[in-house]
Structure 1
Amino acid sequence: MSATAPSRSPCPPGACDCQRDQLDSLPGIDLRVLKLTRQEEKRLLERLENLKDLPDLERMQQRIYEQLGIRVHIAPGFTEVRSMRGINIGVEPRPGLCRKTRQSIPAAIRRGLERNPEIAYALLNANDLLKDA
């Protein structure tokens, strides 16, 4: 008897643009994203909301990519950053990644930055926006 890893349940037809049905037809496609079950997604979002510092955020970005194949990009916006909304947080779309998940990961990171604004300041400083301040 072989134990299979839990897989995310499919989205209702027409409700999402995750293209999960194409995963079987594409050769060599990365299926790690299907490991993100709804329960695991809740744990991930909770962890992203409770970030400690900028290295912790960068570590989480790396682990999300290593374990799920999801790239999360975080950078200050092109214009003036006055709030957490001025920081661009994006998740690259890929087959199997639910639309709601692509929206909830940046929202959780924003909540984490709002709880701990020192992370946002360190992110801005790492991009030379606060040098000499």
Structure 2
Amino acid sequence: MNLPFPIRTECPPGACVCDREALLADPNADLRILRLTREEEKRLVDRLENLSSLADLRKMEARMHDQLGIVVTITPSAREVRTTRGIHIQLADQPGLCRKTKQNIPAAIRRSMERHPEIAYAILDGYDLVGQGGLDLSGGDE
């Protein structure tokens, strides 16, 4: 199949479950994810590692969805969040999405949050976990 854009090369046999060949065989399939070549993935991971704000993260989430069809879900743990490991970052299952990519994107976002904790705080605040509705930390005896 000849496509008007370069596509990701296939993974070694048995190394991935991306189902790339079935995706290419389906004439109605969404092939956007195949545009994410290994070089483009490196650029994406680098960009995600250098996020500086929650707005920047949301912008990248929207761009990944628009350009590649990738859906990223970021939620705090149902229990307790002490580190960025307590924030769940998941990519929705998608034909053509490489197993390695599915690991690299959340890891890059997590590294960005470790460098800029204000991103993690803003996410937690969005769930009212560090906002005004919680504990009174002022020390008053009212």
Q: State the TM-score, normalizing by the size of structure 2.
A: 0.88
List alignment gaps of at least 5 residues for structure 2.
Answer: 136-142
List alignment gaps of at least 5 residues for structure 1.
Answer: none
User: Are 2:3 and 1:11 aligned?
Assistant: no
The match for 2:106 is 106
| Superposed displacement of residue 97, structure 1 | 0.7
**Alpha-carbon distance between aligned partners in 2 of 1:24 and 1:50, rounded to the nearest angstrom:** 33
Identity %: 56
Amino acid across the alignment from 1:84: T
Structure number, greater radius of gyration: 2
**Alpha-carbon distance between aligned partners in 1 of 2:40 and 2:59, rounded to the nearest angstrom:** 18
**Alpha-carbon distance between aligned partners in 2 of 1:117 and 1:131, rounded to the nearest angstrom:** 15
**Alpha-carbon distance between aligned partners in 2 of 1:123 and 1:98, rounded to the nearest angstrom:** 27
More deviation, 95-104/20-29: 20-29
Structure 1 residues 4, 24: CA separation in 2 closer, same or farther (over 3 Å shift)? closer
| Superposed displacement of residue 27, structure 1 | 4.4
**Alpha-carbon distance between aligned partners in 2 of 1:90 and 1:27, rounded to the nearest angstrom:** 28
| Superposed displacement of residue 4, structure 1 | 2.8
Q: Deviations over 1:76-119 (max 9, x none)?
A: 11111000000000011211110000000000000000000011
Count of residues paired in the alignment: 132
Amino acid across the alignment from 1:129: L
Q: State the TM-score, normalizing by the size of structure 1.
A: 0.94
* SS of equivalent to 1:88: strand
